Every structure is written in structure tokens, then in C-alpha cells.
Amino acid sequence: MHSSNTVQHRATVSRSRREQQNKHRSVIIWYTGLSGSGKSTVAHAVEEKLHLAGCRTFVFDGDNVRHGLCANLSFSEDDRHENIRRIGEMAKLFIEAGVIAMTAFISPFRADREGVRALVSENDFIEIYCDSPLEICEERDVKGLYKRARAGEIKNYTGISSPYEAPENPDLILDTAGDSVETNVGKVLNFLEERHIFSRK
């Protein structure tokens, strides 16, 4: 919904000026995959490398966002849609601020992810699929959530009682079951350099 009583303000300090000052492009890097697929692990490891390279970054992590921005949302299908919508709008603001904005969310529905992609220009959204089989994710279940979901204690749990719609054409696929974190971080950094997001030189 858009208010008819508001007018968008155009700042004199533009995104392009911020990018020029930062010496890198701003972009949304959207990690998606099952719980336990390694999204947060890879995202934070990539952020560490980018930070050391002088980039301005921020990682939106699923649990952290639900403690604040989306604390009033449940895990119903409607609230999951709203969760991703809010995150997408926030990430859009961050790229206007010149930041490399990374998100680590299951984001199980293709339509929601495509909705975020539609918020920004074509080259501003990079979808990275952290591909790991359900059985591997369950083995990594440090929070015990899959076990509780299989016991019926948690409803609408992705991969158990709620579907996960894998990306059909992601920008990058990471084998987070077979490859090491270091290997996957290298793949992401190489991809970002190829896209001229940043340079390690």
C-alpha cells in the first residue's frame, strides 16, 4: 500500500556518489536454502572478506530480523510473505546507502524472492542458492528444530510440513553439502569480481 499523502524525497547525496566514495558497487546478495544449508555461515564469511577488502557491508540474518523488524510476525504463509517483503524493502534502502546488503533467509517461496528482485534494477539482485539435501541439513540441526518439526511440535516448518521452492535460475549455486565454507566463499567473491561489484586489487 502506498499513501496518497506522501512524496518521495530525492537526496542530493545519491547512490552513485556513495558508491564512488566506497569504491565498490552496492547490491543485494540474497542467500536462499533450507534451514541448516549454510546460508548464514557463508554470508558472514563473505562479509568478513569484503570488510577486509574495504567494502561497506551488512548481513540481514533471519533470526536477528525476527527479533526486531519482524518480531510481530508468525510463521504462517501470509506472515512469511510479509517477512520477505519487509526485508526486501530494507535491503533496497541499504543499496541506496551504497552498502553491499546480504540476506540469509530460507525465503521458501519463489514468488517472494522474485518480488524482491522486482524492487530493484536487473543487476542489483544476486540470488545465491545454498544447495544442501534435507538429510544433511537435518544432521546439522544444532537448534533441534527439524526434530521438533518431525515430532509435530513446530507447524509450517520448511522442508517438513511446509514446502521449499528451490530457485529455477539462480545467479550462483553453492554446493554447501560437498564443498567447504572456504571454497564457497571463494566462489562468491570470484562471482562478485566478475560482476564488477568490487575488486581485490
Distance of CA 193 to the CA centre of its chain: 19
Chain segment 141-196, per-residue pLDDT in tens: 888 999 999 999 998 899 999 999 999 999 999 999 999 999 999 999 999 999 99
Does the pLDDT of residue 58 top 80, yes or no?
A: yes
Number of domains making up the chain: 1
Chain segment 93-152, per-residue pLDDT in tens: 999 999 999 999 999 999 999 999 999 998 999 999 999 999 999 999 888 999 999 999
Does the pLDDT of residue 1 top 60, yes or no?
A: no
**Residue 118: inside a domain:** yes
Residues of the chain with pLDDT > 90, as a percent, come to 77
**Residue 125: inside a domain:** yes
CATH number at residue 167: 3.40.50.300
Chain segment 64-102, per-residue pLDDT in tens: 777 777 788 878 888 888 889 999 999 999 999 999 999
The residues carrying an active-site annotation are 107
156: containing domain: 24-194
Q: Which three cell numbers stand for residue 169?
A: 535460475
- Predicted confidence at residue 62, as pLDDT, reads 67
- Predicted confidence at residue 154, as pLDDT, reads 92
**Residue 137: inside a domain:** yes
Residues of the chain with pLDDT > 70, as a percent, come to 95
**Residue 182: inside a domain:** yes
Please give the single-letter amino acid code of residue 23: K
**Residue 113: inside a domain:** yes
3-state secondary structure 69-92: CCCCCCCCHHHHHHHHHHHHHHHH
Q: What is the DSSP letter of 1?
A: -
